[in-house]
Structure 1
């Protein structure tokens, strides 16, 4: 008569502080999803496992099961906890999933940072891994290729040489110099953005690139076209605004440097902050200060370019420069939807303004161009890009102050 074999008892975990597979099995999905509720009610209870009988078997260590809300939270964010090399990365990941300081208080912690420190301490790590985490990458600024600060000067240098060539050349040579200069500035701009702090972790959408190109083309040609259209033309070709081209190209360098300044300063504040609220309160003034610093540099360069060309500084180019900086800054942190919408809205307003003037020439459609014509007569053709790009830049600044003040935006080495 054969006896039925008993099921082998589960073995004890190899290390006391390691992940207990049995505990994870005990954490049901309902317990995971209701961890915050359990923490709010203060129901934190430990269970003592029964001893295992048999040869060489000892008593199983005390473990926390489904009643431990932090254990349940670690189970939900297990991948985040295992790959993190610093508590700040866990804090940023929790914040990205909607965990706030108020939620951390329900887990009996003063803020998300304190909760992340406990979660980081309870994740099993070997000695080598613990030693490697002594210099966490999230506490330092992101690495950039050597010479990135000099790469930012390339667009301005290329545009300056092109302007000089246009002034000296004439006829077909002038056209060839302009075409070659446009290609050189485009390549230099791509190098400055690709190997600098404004590089984006995601490739820009074709619609975003198209709107950027349209806005730049309008900054060069749009004001004169609108002026001629309001006057009943255009009757003859019009020259592009070299002042806007030179000023915007030279402004690439301060834009890249300001983005680097923001990234480094924000990471320092992340390392020194004791809570998400404190970090957000310190980053918003930093962002406003960096944008203001860039605007001062942009206007100085536009005034200098206007003095060289003997023209007033185009206000529309200044508004466009602010919009482009904020778009590139948000894209470098992975936020690409808002820049696309604001760039598209500004481009649509500019295109619609010019189109309305031509559409008003149709019989019975004079009323279409009345707002644009009155704005041009009162403030000049530069009023259209100032209103379009200025409003879009203001909206984008408010959005940037909200999303870039999160710790999760600065946890990864993306900017």
Structure 2
């Protein structure tokens, strides 16, 4: 009589005559049986093994021999995210939320098309997987950062930096009022005390709140633009041989210092709304399309507010009238500061430098034209002044620089990396 016994691999064998079947069963029972998937033979014949199949499969499948659910692991060479994970491990360990990882990846040139090669629909979903897979560098430190922190005075409380933003305009108005109403030594004392106090208030406003930009202090270029806005037209007229040398326009200075308050509010509005769109956007293109109209709207709001303040300052009778050049100066300073706040101080500094260079060259050309044989140097400036007046020089210089910065900001501030680090 022939007895068949199935071994662990599912193959049958027939024992020879006279073999002790019970001994054979005991020997077979002592060998551990390993379940083998149905495609093991195919994997062995193809030379790829089951690991490669598991890397390309999605989700999980059931083993045919045991009925146990086996996850399709993404380890080894079939896991492209692991390469990215090792490359940006430091970024992932420091990140507080997936948005910071998405911003860092975008800063390194990872786009939605690149994320598709890592089997993700966009950079944000790729950042979420990296955030979930990479352990934090210090779990206690991460939990401490996630815990609610007490608001920092000046940054988290709007009332604190709002008061500091209003202070420069108030001090400038009081200084001009005292210098206009008083006479003699009292007038000199008010001017000597009010000017440094206003400058200190401006510095305080720029060092805290939404206008704070660490490491960005183009004081020389900003002061030159403000000084030219107040005294430049008088100096230009004097070099052209028409008008007195001293013809200040303090109303322009009052309007520009008072505009620090709406500038701070507009910068905070852009930062808060951009982060809100960043948290709901599902792609870099989607985020950019949502932020660009926001940027233009915020800039338009600031420009309208600045125009109203300049008109109001001119109506107070301190001297000077509303000029388009003052609006161009204020817009340029606001855009340069906005770019510096979001981590791009180089572009803002370049815009200020270009405007200052044009103004300096205009004054230098008129001064050099007084030398023998150099009269032709002043002809371009004279032609511009004859057509549009002395205010056309700063209006053209600052207006062109402001338009260039606005075009640059429309591209630079539509990236997630420009907003992920802000916590206004």
TM-score, normalised with respect to structure 2: 0.77
Give the deviation of 1:210 after TM superposition: 0.9
2:224 pairs with one of 179, 199, 214 = 214
Q: Is the 8 A contact 1:360 1:368 kept in 2?
A: yes
User: Which 10-residue stretch deviates more, 343-352 or 405-414?
Assistant: 405-414
Distance 1:136 1:288, change over 3 A: farther
Whole-Å Cα distance in 1 between the matches of residues 158 and 304 of structure 2?
Answer: 27
The match for 2:75 is: 64
Whole-Å Cα distance in 2 between the matches of residues 63 and 292 of structure 1?
Answer: 50
Give the deviation of 1:314 after TM superposition: 2.2
Whole-Å Cα distance in 1 between the matches of residues 92 and 147 of structure 2?
Answer: 17
The match for 1:77 is: 88
SS of match in other structure, 1:147: helix
Give the deviation of 1:117 after TM superposition: 1.2
Verify: 1:313 aligned to 2:322, yes or no. yes
Q: Is the 8 A contact 1:86 1:133 kept in 2?
A: no
The structure whose Rg is larger is: 2
2:236 pairs with one of 222, 226, 243 = 226
The match for 1:268 is: 276
**Higher relative contact order structure (alpha carbons within 8 Å, sequence separation ≥ 6):** 1
The match for 1:58 is: none
1:362 pairs with one of 360, 367, 371 = 371
User: 1:167-316 residue pairs with structure 2 within 5 A?
Assistant: 167-204=180-217, 208-231=218-241, 237-309=245-317, 311-316=320-325
Verify: 1:159 aligned to 2:172, yes or no. yes
Q: Deviations over 1:84-133 (max 9, x none)?
A: 22111111110011000010011111100111111112123698788778
SS of match in other structure, 1:108: coil
Whole-Å Cα distance in 2 between the matches of residues 276 and 160 of structure 1?
Answer: 45
Unaligned 5+ residue runs, structure 2?
1-52, 58-71, 150-154
Whole-Å Cα distance in 1 between the matches of residues 360 and 343 of structure 2?
Answer: 28
Whole-Å Cα distance in 2 between the matches of residues 298 and 232 of structure 1?
Answer: 30
Q: Is the 8 A contact 1:95 1:407 kept in 2?
A: yes
Give the deviation of 1:168 after TM superposition: 1.2
Give the deviation of 1:63 after TM superposition: 6.8
Q: Deviations over 1:31-61 (max 9, x none)?
A: xxxxxxxxxxx99569xxxxxxxxxxxxxx9
Q: Aligned pair count?
A: 351
Q: Deviations over 1:229-277 (max 9, x none)?
A: 212575xx51421110111111111111111111111111111111111
Verify: 1:122 aligned to 2:130, yes or no. no
TM-score, normalised with respect to structure 1: 0.79
Verify: 1:350 aligned to 2:354, yes or no. no
SS of match in other structure, 1:363: coil
